Structure 1
Amino acid sequence: MKLLMLGTTGRGTKELLLEAKRRGIYTIVTDNLSVEKAPLKLLADEYWMISTADIDILEEKCREEGVVAIMNGISTFNISVCMELCKRLNLPCYCTPESWHYTIDKRQFKDLCISCGVPVAKDYYLSKTPSEKELSEIQYPVVVKAIDQSANRGMSYCNSKEEVLAACEYARSYSASDTVIVERMLKGHEYTAWYALADGKASLVNFGIMFEQAGYPSNCYSVTTTETNKLDLYLKEIDPYITTAFNKAGCKEGLAWIEMMLDDDGHFYVLETGYRMSGDMMALNHKNVCGFNTYAWLVDIATGVKHSYSDLPDPERKLPERCGCTYILWSKDGGKISEITGLDEIKKLEGINLNIDGMLNVGDVVKKHQYLLVITFDVATEDEMIDVIKKINASVTVKNDTGADIVIRFDGFERLKAIAKEANKLGEE
């Protein structure tokens, strides 16, 4: 059996390749990057120098080489390519264009949520040239979003009519659509929930909380952890309704996640969804802490293994016994990377299933507020989690061409402790 992996830079690609190789599957990787820039190609049994944008060429090559399975990591572009290639070659693919578009179109996803009883923030309709009546109905503060972007690209917070008008133009500059979303601004912690899907049913794999470093953009989430509060509230307010929404969207198999905010009013409001693995590499924690192997699940589907409802993991109803954590090191400034130190030191930490994901190399040019490295690990308690984060902070540096250390280091440990205290209290009840 030959499996083609689309792209080398998407997170999770390495783990998918290792899972396929563990099964004795012949693996091929393709993109137009050199081996020097994409050393992951050397992990596969074979690699092609064909861009994933060259679908016609890839189709012909797959037919010639007898490829019978196609996959990719988290790249949204490559997921679209995978769907098209699988359609042409009559190969299995967990998602379809009809179900996938809810990941891209925030308006369609929000309408889907409303139809299924999933709570979302109140929004306001604005035409391309808003009327005074439309603008007068807005209650501030609001957030303006591009309809087809993730990671808060094209997003603005507004407190006046003038700010809204400017924010709409800013959102459209990121978008392929004239449509923007204007909605009540929520304030509070963000959370993520991950689901496994089979037979049109969804089972909650994990519910986690996200923390940003104070003083930096709210979308720069440094820490995501399974050590969370409010699981009971989530199971009451969101879980029964979002599983219905996944089914209505046509998400029959594979996996999906949603992000939401616990607003100051004490209720959850769903923000967006992804019908794919999340970029924070929490799938490793789900494997090590929650007992669900995302990579095996996806390789199954790509290679023709059909999951049934009975294959789904038991839905999470209490917190895992161990604490899983993803620590993302963001850049506080841009520039060309001149030095990366400390990674060998933290790799020596024992008993925590530590993994470092990142294609970062000396000589790479990075922008302000982008991922540098994604570090996952699991420990027994929140105190141990904090201790590991402190060791990473003390060890790892990434310098740009001016000699400045550009790592954003998380130090909101009191917030972590407060959430963990509440979570532990819930576990004792």
Structure 2
Amino acid sequence: MKFEYLNKKLAIIGAGYLQKPLVLKAKELGLEVHCFAWEEGAVCKPLADCFYPISTTDKNAILKECLKINIDGITTIATDIAVPSVNFVAQQMGLIGNGDCNSLVLTNKYRMRQVFDRNQIRLPKFVRINESSPVFKEDSFRYPLIVKPVDRSGSRGVKKVDESSGLELAIKTAQKESFVNDCIVEEYIEGDEVSVEAISWKGKHYVLAITDKETTGSPYFVEVAHHQPSRLPQKIQSNIIQETEKCLTALGVKNGASHSEFRIDPKGDVFVIEVGARMGGDFIGSDLVELSTGYDFLKGVIDVSLGYFTTPKKTYNKCSGVYFLSKERSHLQPEITSGTEKYIVKAQMTNPEIRCLTCSDDRSGYLIYQDSHKVIL
């Protein structure tokens, strides 16, 4: 154990499979780990030093325990729902975070778009639909449209609508998935989709990787694969990096990981879709960044939460990626179950039932690779 981690206590909000890489890394560093989550699905419970059966959204109860423990840092990865609790506790205890006042913006797609609009950041035309403004003025928008809840991830409740006949049902579905019965409708941008992993320290942003995404396409756009590094032209990648930095600054993201999503239209214009003040899920942040660059992103996130920071260094350039198993991609099953190819880093069946995809929860397994070139399966 390095001296800086000696007797340090880290609170991790969440204890599901998304947090498992973070818990394992913290334990590897020698930290005392305290996890907060409901017991159902808490795979990290036996891995943590202490587990608290408290909702990830109950920030006051979490704060009460963190004060008793006298934690040295607090963080989460790959989930938006825990971000408000992380920021609240960090602010109350004088720890590293992004400020409790930013949480509503960082976890609400409508408020986020308002910030982008005010800061003249290019984004699709959008409108909010809720109980107080239930009418969609169709003649001022261009089809196709994307309908999504304001506060969910993993493609839950997201649907592309090509004509007006399908709009009402899509809105009702998105509102039902929303925690606050709220959704947005925005014009669909044709083109490539990427995400950007970055880490920030005191307002300075360091882009680590741009990830090319593959999705099921219309109507649900569930992500089926991710690949690093991006194959987009360098000029477009430079624009994406600039837009990422503008978005993070506008949203008040000063410390820790971020995951930003963009679409690039056929003309090469970059449109922001959304930004999360946390590491990306789907193994992008926890696995792919280190596999493609050599930078230990998990350790970087932990270090920031504890008040340490070292400028990220990429020690090599390799290709990495993840493929997800579904009925649409059932040809992947032999690769996942055998796991014998040299490029396979990790592979697992997560559900014996292979289903069609309507959201990321429908995926049945995954395969993570690293190679000198992009692996096409």
SS class of match (2:325):
strand
Q: Given the two structures, how large is their TM-score scaled by the length of structure 1? A: 0.71
What's the TM-score, normalizing by structure 2?
Answer: 0.80
Q: Secondary structure at 1:354's aligned position in 2?
A: strand
Instruction: Give the whole-Å Cα distance in 1 for the aligned partners of 2:239 and 2:299.
Output: 30
Question: Which of 185, 188, 204 is the equivalent residue of 2:188?
Answer: 185
With over 3 angstroms needed to count, the CA separation of the structure-2 counterparts of 1:73 and 1:118, relative to structure 1, is same
Paired letter, 1:375: L
Alpha-carbon offset, residue 295 of structure 1: 0.9
Q: 1:372 is matched with which residue?
A: 364
Whole-angstrom distance in 2 between the partners of 1:161 and 1:238: 32
Residue 230 of structure 2: SS of its match in structure 1? coil
What pairs up with 1:18-57 in 2 under 5 angstroms? 18-33=24-39, 38-52=42-56, 55-57=59-61
In structure 2, what is the equivalent of residue 70 of structure 1? 74
* Number of the residue aligned with 2:321: 325
Q: Which has the larger radius of gyration?
A: 1
Cα offsets for 1:345-393 (capped at 9, x unmatched): 31x544x4713478x4779x999642333432211112xx23xx4xxxx
Distance 1:357 1:4, change over 3 A: farther
- Offset of 1:322 from its aligned partner? 1.4
Specify the alignment match of 1:418 in structure 2: none
2:198 aligned to which of 182, 195, 198: 195
Query: 1:152-210 deviations in whole A, cap 9, x for unaligned?
Result: 33333334444434433333333355664333222233111112211212122111211
RMSD (Å) for aligned C-alpha atoms: 3.6
Cα distance, 1:65–1:191 mapped onto 2, change above 3 Å: closer
Mark the CA change 1:314 to 1:232 in structure 2 (over 3 Å): closer, same or farther: farther
Partner of 1:229: 231
Instruction: Give the Cα separation in 2 of the matches to 1:105 and 1:313.
Output: 29
User: After superposition, where does 1:15-414 map in structure 2 within 5 Å?
Assistant: 15-33=21-39, 38-52=42-56, 55-88=59-92, 90-123=93-126, 128-130=133-135, 134-176=137-179, 180-213=183-216, 218-283=220-285, 284-305=287-308, 307=309, 311-313=310-312, 321-330=317-326, 345-346=338-339, 348-350=340-342, 352=343, 354-356=345-347, 360=350, 369=359, 370=361, 371-382=363-374, 385-386=375-376, 389=377
Cα pair 2:91 2:100 within 8 Å, conserved: no
Q: Distance in 2 between matches of 1:248 and 1:375?
A: 36
Aligned mates of 1:179, 1:57 — CA distance in 2? 27
Q: 1:201 to 1:217 in 2, by over 3 A?
A: same
SS in 2 for 1:114: helix
Query: In 2, distance between residues paired with 1:46 and 1:245?
Result: 36
Contact 2:290 2:296 in 1 (8 A): yes
Q: Residue 260 of structure 1 aligns to a residue in which SS?
A: strand
Per the alignment, do residues 372 and 102 of structure 1 end up closer, same or farther by CA in structure 2, a change over 3 Å counting?
Answer: farther
Q: Distance in 1 between matches of 2:43 and 2:169?
A: 43
Q: Residue 39 and residue 24 in structure 1: after superposition, are their counterparts in 2 closer, same or farther (change >3 A)?
A: same
**8 Å Cα contact 2:352/2:364 also seen in 1:** no
In the aligned structure 2, how far is the partner of 1:183 from the partner of 1:59? 37
Deviation at 1:324, TM superposition (A): 0.9
Sort the Cα spacing of 1:142 and 1:287 in 2 relative to 1 into closer, same or farther, 3 A.
Answer: same
Q: Could you tell me which residue of structure 2 aligns to residue 419 of structure 1? A: none
Q: Which amino acid aligns with 2:39?
A: L
Could you tell me how far 1:325 is from its partner in structure 2? Answer: 0.4
Runs of 5+ in structure 2 lacking a partner? 1-7
- Which residue type is aligned with residue 86 of structure 1? A
Give the aligned residue type for 1:276. Answer: R
Structure 1 68/137 Cα, relative in aligned 2: closer, same or farther at 3 Å?
Answer: closer
Residue 236 of structure 1 deviates from its aligned partner by 4.5
Per the TM alignment, residue 92 of structure 1 is displaced from its structure 2 partner at its CA by 2.0
| Alpha-carbon distance between aligned partners in 1 of 2:204 and 2:311, rounded to the nearest angstrom | 9
The answer for the alignment partner of 1:415 in structure 2 is none
Counterpart CA distance in 1 for 2:58 and 2:160 is 39
Question: Which SS does the other structure have where 2:153 is aligned?
Answer: coil
